[in-house]
């Protein structure tokens, strides 16, 4: 398996560098095959180490007998990382599913501390990983992109209350990139805000259609399923926005007046939908059922509290008298004091 993956990766890498125009004619089958091999070998290494530890094999000197020849230092892994990073934002890839495959491969690699360390050390990843991710924030891949960003910069997709380990290197690089490259920052944030607004509209529309009694029951059920799926994507994307606000709060307050107003409006819009809108009704229905994986109303609203908190802490450090968090909140389009009271009461018992 190792020899096969090394051969295919080396061949792809050679064609990619020496004859880039030919690369796009290579069947996706070969890339998928390599990914499956790399995944299997990484997982088998981890499972083997767990087995040997639990069975006390190391005590008897059997560790050297189980050398399968593939670990975080493998040249195969280095080739694979470079291959994935180069094509994350490749607009020349004709098949949109292939673009999605690269995002899935990256997400898999980010789940292991050992491979994350190798990504931090990889010259191509150092130069292109974050820029490629920020440039390719497209609607059709928004869930995978948000999950990759959360995994890279936060370190945990499922721990919503605290920052995970993440990559300190890429956190620092993200802040530096956003501080220096205004065009990249505006492009990325506008895409992120656009996607969240579109997702809210899509979820509301599907939920409304699911309650339309004039439609056939099967169609109503399909719309309800779409609303639930869309909500999951929306939640992760709002979490990504919260993460961004925690790392670069200046971008929401000092960078651009339009972006400042847009984020303030969006926060209020989410509060309205989560406390008194269609999303509130959808979540109430989901929470009353048996699906324990769906986030509660409090969890849906908590990223907005996280955004407000990050901006408040930023302003407090600056000790700015000209701008206060209250001013940021109340200047939102459609601000309502009663909604804010409900929002606060909802979150009182949460961390």
Q: Where are the domains of the chain?
A: 2-136, 177-347
pLDDT value of position 284: 81
> CA of 298: how far to CAs of 225, 270, 289, 342, in Å?
22, 12, 16, 11
What pLDDT score was predicted for residue 29?
A: 64
Residue 159 pLDDT greater than 70, yes or no: no
Residue 74 — very low, low, confident or very high, per pLDDT cuts 50/70/90? low
Q: How far is CA 194 from CA 7, 222, 234, 247, in A?
A: 42, 25, 12, 20
> For residue 282, what pLDDT band results from cuts at 50, 70 and 90?
confident
- CA 90/CA 96 separation, integer angstroms: 10
Give burial (CB, 10 Å; 0-12/13-18/19+) of 16: middle
Residue 180 has what pLDDT? 92
User: Helix-strand-coil percent breakdown of the chain, rounded to 5?
Assistant: 75, 0, 25
Look at residue 70 in the predicted model and tell me its pLDDT. Answer: 47
Helix (H) or strand (E) holding 59: none
> In the numeric block, which tokens belong to residue 333?
């389009």
If we measure between CA atoms, which residue out of 235, 231, 241 comes closest to residue 205? 231
- What does the pLDDT read at residue 97? 72
Contact between 22 and 15 (Cβ < 8 Å) = yes
Q: Looking at residue 61, what is its pLDDT?
A: 40
What is the spatial distance between Cα 307 and Cα 326, in angstroms, rounded to a whole number? 13
Exposure string (b/e) for 105-138, b if CB count within 10 Å is 16 or more? bbbbbbebeebbebbbebebbeebbbbbbbbbbe
Q: Could you read off the pLDDT of 321-351 as tens digits, one per residue?
A: 556 888 889 888 888 898 898 888 888 766 5
pLDDT tens string 113-128: 878 888 999 999 999 9
- The pLDDT tens digits for 178-205 are 999 989 899 899 999 999 999 999 999 9
Dump pLDDT digits (tens) for 138-150. 767 888 889 999 9
Section 68-79 average pLDDT = 61
CA-to-CA distance for 330 and 191, rounded, in angstroms? 24
Least confident segment among 3-17, 130-144, 217-231, 302-316: 3-17
The answer, yes or no, to whether residue 3 has pLDDT greater than 80, is no
Distances (CA, A) of 314 to 20, 164, 320: 46, 21, 9
pLDDT of residue 91: 77
- Return the structure tokens found at 42: 């990484």
Q: Which of 228, 239, 296, 238 is nearest to 266 (CA)?
A: 238
Give the C-alpha separation, 137 to 301, whole Å. Answer: 23
CB-based contact 224:206 (threshold 8 Å): yes
What percent of the chain is modeled with pLDDT above 70? 78
The answer to whether residues 234 and 255 touch, using CB atoms and an 8 Å cutoff, is no
């Amino acid at each position: 398996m190792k020899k096969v993956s090394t051969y295919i990766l080396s061949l792809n890498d050679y064609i990619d560098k020496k004859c880039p125009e030919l690369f796009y004619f290579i069947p996706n089958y070969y890339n998928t095959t390599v990914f499956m091999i790399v995944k299997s070998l990484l997982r088998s290494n981890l499972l083997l180490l767990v087995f040997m530890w639990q069975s006390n094999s190391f005590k008897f000197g059997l560790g050297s007998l189980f050398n399968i020849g593939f670990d975080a230092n493998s040249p195969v892994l280095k080739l694979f990382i470079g291959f994935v990073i180069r094509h994350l934002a490749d607009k020349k890839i004709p098949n949109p599913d292939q673009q999605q495959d690269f995002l899935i491969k990256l997400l898999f690699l980010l789940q292991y501390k050992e491979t994350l360390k190798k990504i931090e050390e990889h010259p191509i990843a150092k130069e292109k990983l974050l820029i490629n991710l920020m440039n390719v924030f497209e609607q059709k891949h928004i869930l995978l992109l948000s999950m990759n960003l959360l995994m890279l910069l936060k370190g945990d997709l499922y721990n919503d209350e605290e920052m995970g380990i993440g990559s300190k290197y890429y956190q620092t690089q993200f802040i530096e990139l956003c501080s220096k490259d205004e065009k990249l920052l505006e492009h990325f944030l506008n895409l992120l805000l656009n996607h969240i607004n579109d997702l809210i509209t899509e979820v509301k529309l599907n939920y409304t259609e699911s309650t339309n009694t004039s439609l056939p029951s099967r169609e109503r059920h399909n719309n309800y399923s779409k609303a639930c799926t869309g909500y999951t994507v929306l939640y992760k994307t709002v979490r990504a926005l919260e993460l961004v606000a925690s790392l670069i709060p200046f971008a929401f307050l000092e960078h651009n007046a339009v972006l400042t107003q847009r984020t303030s409006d969006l926060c209020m819009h989410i509060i309205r939908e989560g406390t008194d809108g269609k999303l509130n009704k959808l979540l109430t229905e989901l929470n009353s059922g048996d699906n324990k994986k769906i986030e509660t109303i409090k969890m849906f609203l908590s990223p907005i509290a996280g955004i407000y908190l990050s901006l408040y802490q930023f302003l407090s450090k600056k000790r700015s008298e000209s701008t206060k968090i209250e001013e940021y909140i109340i200047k939102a389009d459609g601000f309502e004091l009663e909604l804010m009271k409900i929002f606060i009461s909802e979150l009182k018992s949460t961390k």
